[in-house]
Structure 1
Amino acid sequence: MRWMLMIPVLALAACMEREKVPSGAEDFATFCSACHGAGGKGDGPAAAGLDRKPADLTGLAARNRGVFPGTRVMAKIWGYTGGRDGASPMPQFGPLLQGDLVPYDGGDGIASPTPVRLVQIAEYLKTLQR
């Protein structure tokens, strides 16, 4: 009889289980690869239709004296760096900005509360550096 009392508790626990958070690679494939390409070189299938070629993300560290510019990359994804007139070809990435926050030092020595999915995509981009 006691086991029957556990059924509602287990059912509630199953409902409260969090959704699986996509990995940085999965989010890159979903949000970035159409323009930046699967390998991050700016050669995605949607790149041809853009006025300006998407950035080659494999050279971010090389263009920053060998240091991956994590904070700057996340700011670009977040939408803080829209260019001179505030317009950017980068779309809004709402899902990457929601969810749990984690302390993250993007290379500037300051650990700031940052959405976990944004951190994961920045960490994935580090793996694409040549």
Structure 2
Amino acid sequence: MPQHSLKSTSHIALGLLAAMLTAAPAIAQDDDDDTGRLEYMYSCSACHGESARGDGPVARYLNVDTPSLTNLTRENEGEFPLYKVVQIIDGRSGVGAHGTIMPVWGARFMPQALAEGGHFRAEVIVRGRILSIAHYLETIQD
């Protein structure tokens, strides 16, 4: 491998590690942290409702059903489908939201995250916000 490629790769790896370490306190979560709930209320509750049962004030105006998010564990043989939920919320990987008009939150969160730092740091911030929503959803399963 050429010397400049190794140097470039090591700079990218160091940059990613630094971004992750810098962003970690902002996305860390414990039992007392409301980050996921607040993110859900701000980004998701208009359609899915404060109770996450698909009864948000905007849901009645949509031409598709807004699903309840409180029965995901039950629908997946007792295991919360964390990876799938993260992919659906993010929306940038082509998984989509089952043919609905759900926003692509990964793209929507990106401009603000980019304003806070470079691309790698922004990606960590975006994924942290999405993961906090998914973690919150896991805590409210029926």
Q: Could you state the TM-score of these two structures normalised by the residue count of structure 1?
A: 0.66
**Partner of residue 81, structure 1:** 95
- Whether 1:92 aligns to 2:104 is yes
- Whether 1:127 aligns to 2:139 is yes
Higher helix share: 2
Higher strand share: 1
Distance 1:51-1:64 versus aligned 2 partners, 3 A rule: same
How many aligned residue pairs are there?
A: 101
Q: After TM superposition, give the deviation of residue 115 of structure 1 in Å.
A: 1.5
Q: After the TM superposition, which residues 2-81 of structure 1 pair with which residues of structure 2 at under 5 Å, given as runs?
A: 23-79=35-91, 80-81=94-95
Q: After TM superposition, give the deviation of residue 117 of structure 1 in Å.
A: 1.1
Question: What stretches of structure 2 of length at least 5 have no aligned partner?
Answer: 1-22, 28-33, 114-121
Residue 58 of structure 1 aligns with an amino acid whose one-letter code is T
Cα distance between partner residues in 1 of 2:100 and 2:61: 15
Q: After TM superposition, give the deviation of residue 119 of structure 1 in Å.
A: 1.2
- Superposed CA RMSD in Å reads 3.0
> Highest Rg: 1 or 2?
1
Question: What stretches of structure 1 of length at least 5 have no aligned partner?
Answer: 1-17, 103-113
Q: Could you state the TM-score of these two structures normalised by the residue count of structure 2?
A: 0.61
| Aligned match for 1:101, one of 110, 113, 124 | 124
